[in-house]
Chain A
Amino acid sequence: MLQLTQDQDIILHKVQPGDTLSKILFHYHGHQDQSRLQGLIAESMTANAFIKNPDLIYPGQLIQVPVPATYKTPPMAGFNVPTLKLNESSCLGPVCKNWNEATIEQRTLMPGLIELSLMSSAALAEASDKWLNSNATLMGRIPTEYEKYKAGKISKGQYDYARKKVIDQLEQNLKSATGLYTDGKSSREVLRISRTKGKAPTADINTAATKLGQYGKAATKAGYVLSAVSLGVTCHDIAYEVNPVKRSTLLVEGVASVGAGAFLGLGAGYSLLLLATPVGWTAALAIGVSIAVASYAFGKKMGQTYERTADGDLSDSLGVSELCSTIFIDRNKTPIEKRLLSNTQEYIAP
């Protein structure tokens, strides 16, 4: 019989096909080093006297799993609570820090929250598309009214009134987002007929309308640049990581993210082809964000699987560690520093 300490509790777990004791413990405790894992296995075997061999448990069996007392709710099915690597120098540093400081209950809410936020992004993207299109159409009414005025169909007063009405409506609709096309000027200053020679009278208005869309396109491009930067960050981390297992895990995470990005990108491309779904820039942005999030998650999952299963000299044996080290460390060293570094390595090597 296991004697529980004050900070321990028991959770009843129904064994599923394919479960092993180590797998169940990983499910509840996350990744643990070998000695801690052995301790947890021993505790679990004491709590469940009928288990003689930790690799021999059967589907349907109910087993008692010792967990920390703070762990009051079981995790969501199929979700392993990971601990993220805290790397302050990376842009994800604050995210990792918050994640690691969160309680297990908060962490178990995350898959639902991610799904919810993706759904919200998609809904927001859809709404933004309609919002921008409707405002661009509204903006386009100024040149139309101007053409009518030039053709003598309406008076100058009628044209001025129509223009004022459109600008008021735009300011009401876009609020602070008017800054996207006004560049610090007022809407009245920007949305007016040009008197400059050699320039179409409605050129400024058309420029303002296209500016709105360009912001979204720029954001989508930034997503691609970020992918390239993340590969650079991975290589940088590999160069400065001293633990060979961690170096290989970083490599697997990076490669898995790139592979998942390419896979999901092609999947999205073929879906757009087959479904013939019209795509606006915001919808494309939502697709990009979803692909980036899914690629990141897949990379982390592959990293965990690698750390759990492999012996971890992949990065060194493929020469990636040496390459990244050449790019990020050797390039910044003067010849004297290089010599000092090489002496230190020789000293440590034996």
Chain B
Amino acid sequence: MIDNKMLFDIMMVLLFVCALLGVSTWSAIFLLSFYFKRFDNLLLKSPYFNESEQINYKEFPLSQYKTLMYISLFSFRSMTGKRFKDAQLPELETNVVILSYTVSIMSFLVLATGLATLILLLIL
């Protein structure tokens, strides 16, 4: 039987993992935002982004959200919903794909550990 003390310890570990992964993920997204700027000509336009987004997503800090969207498109395309539905992508380099998958998985882990921490906090 798991007691409260053990749940608390699990929660603390999850919290530290979430914070550490979170900082790493956002740092990776920040660095990739420079590398992925080259896809702006291809993707940062109608119909994928409206006029207001095309202006705002060019600069920090909102450019980070744009990079996150590119990362999702280059890794788990099915989860980009309607936004990039008919987007025609060129053949992506292997490092772009690997980096996108890595950051995507890291972001999912942040969301999973964060959610688990939140649930444990509510239980405790």
Spot the interface stretch: A7-15, A25-33, A59-67, A275-283. Answer: A275-283
Give CA–CA (A265, B111) in the complex, Å: 10
Asked if B117 and A259 sit within 8 Å, CB to CB, the answer is yes
A279 with B16: CB separation less than 8 A? no
B107 & A279 in contact (Cβ 8 Å cutoff) = no
Complex-state Cα separation, A298 to B25, whole angstroms: 20
- Shortest Cβ distance from B55 into chain A, in angstroms? 8
* CB of B88 closer than 8 Å to a CB of A: no
Which of B8, B56, B72, B111 lies in contact with A263, CB distance below 8 A?
A: B111
Could you say which residues of chain B place their CB within 8 Å of the CB of A280? 52, 56
Question: A274 to chain B: which residues have CB within 8 Å?
Answer: 79-81, 83
Task: Say which residue of B15, B50, B55, B81 sits within 8 Å of A302 (CB atoms).
Answer: B15
A221 at the interface (CB under 8 A from B): yes
Asked whether, in the complex, the Cβ of B25 is within 8 Å of the Cβ of A266, the reply is yes
B22 with A269: CB separation less than 8 A = no
Asked whether A167 is an interface residue with its Cβ less than 8 Å from the other chain, the reply is no
State in angstroms the CA–CA spacing of A294 and B81 once bound together.
27
Contact B68 A263 (CB under 8 A): no
B19 close to A224 (CB less than 8 A):
no
Residue A192 at the chain B interface, CB threshold 8 Å = no
Residue A236 at the chain B interface, CB threshold 8 Å: no
Residue in A252, A270, A278, A281 with the greatest tally of chain B CB atoms within 10 Å: A270
Q: A262-B22, A262-B110, A273-B81 are in contact. Are A278 and B53 (CB under 8 A)?
A: yes
A258 CB-CB contact with B under 8 Å: yes
Residues 15-43 of chain B: 1 if any A CB is under 8 Å from the residue's CB, otherwise 0? 11011011101100000000000000000
B61 in contact with A255 (CB, 8 Å)? no
Can you sample 24 A-B contacts with CB below 8 Å?
A: A213-B55, A224-B61, A252-B15, A255-B15, A255-B16, A256-B15, A256-B19, A259-B16, A259-B19, A262-B25, A263-B111, A263-B115, A266-B68, A266-B110, A269-B65, A272-B65, A273-B68, A273-B69, A274-B83, A275-B81, A278-B52, A298-B118, A302-B121, A310-B12
The CA-CA distance from A206 to B52 in the complex, in Å, is 16
Size of B's binding interface in residues, CB under 8 A = 41
Residue A143 lies at the interface, judged by CB distance under 8 Å to chain B: no
Q: Are B15 and A259 in contact (CB under 8 A)?
A: yes
Complex A-B, nearest 3 residue pairs according to Cβ-Cβ distance, in ascending order? A262-B22, A263-B114, A259-B19
Do A217 and B83 touch across chains, with their CB atoms under 8 A apart?
A: no
* Contact residues of A between 209 and 239, Cβ < 8 Å to B: 213, 217, 220-221, 223-224
Quick check: is B64 within 8 A (CB to CB) of the other chain? yes
Residues of B within 8 A of A (CB): 4-5, 8, 12, 15-16, 18-19, 21-23, 25-26, 50, 52-53, 55-56, 59-62, 64-65, 68-69, 72, 79-83, 107, 110-111, 114-115, 117-118, 121, 124
| A279 and B53 in contact, given A220-B61, A258-B23, A262-B22 (Cβ under 8 angstroms) | yes
Q: Does A179 contact B (CB under 8 A)?
A: no
Query: Whole-angstrom distance between the alpha carbons of A263 and B22 in the complex?
Result: 7
Residues of chain B with a CB closer than 8 A to A268's CB: 65
User: Residue on B with the closest CB to A308?
Assistant: B124
- Chain A, Cβ-Cβ closest to B22: A262
Closest chain-B Cβ to A287's Cβ sits at a distance in Å of 9
A336 shortest CB reach to chain B, Å? 38
Contact status A305-B19, CB under 8 Å: no
- The residue that A279 contacts in the complex, of B15, B19, B52, with Cβ under 8 A, is B52
A221 touches B61 (CB 8 A): yes
Q: Which residues of A contact B15 (CB under 8 A)?
A: 252, 255-256, 259, 302
Instruction: Determine if B68 and A269 form an interchain contact, defined as CB atoms under 8 angstroms apart.
Output: yes
A258 and B19 form a contact (CB under 8 A): yes
List, in ascending order, chain A residues with CB within 8 A of B107's CB: 266, 270
Given contacts A258-B23, A270-B72, A305-B124, list 15 more A-B pairs with CB under 8 A: A255-B16, A258-B19, A262-B18, A262-B114, A263-B110, A266-B111, A269-B65, A273-B65, A273-B81, A276-B81, A279-B52, A298-B118, A302-B15, A305-B8, A310-B12
Task: Give the complex CA separation of A279 and B66 in angstroms.
Answer: 11
Across the interface, which residues of B come within 8 angstroms of A288, CB to CB? 61
B-side contacts of A213, CB under 8 Å: 55
Residue of B with least CB distance to A261: B22
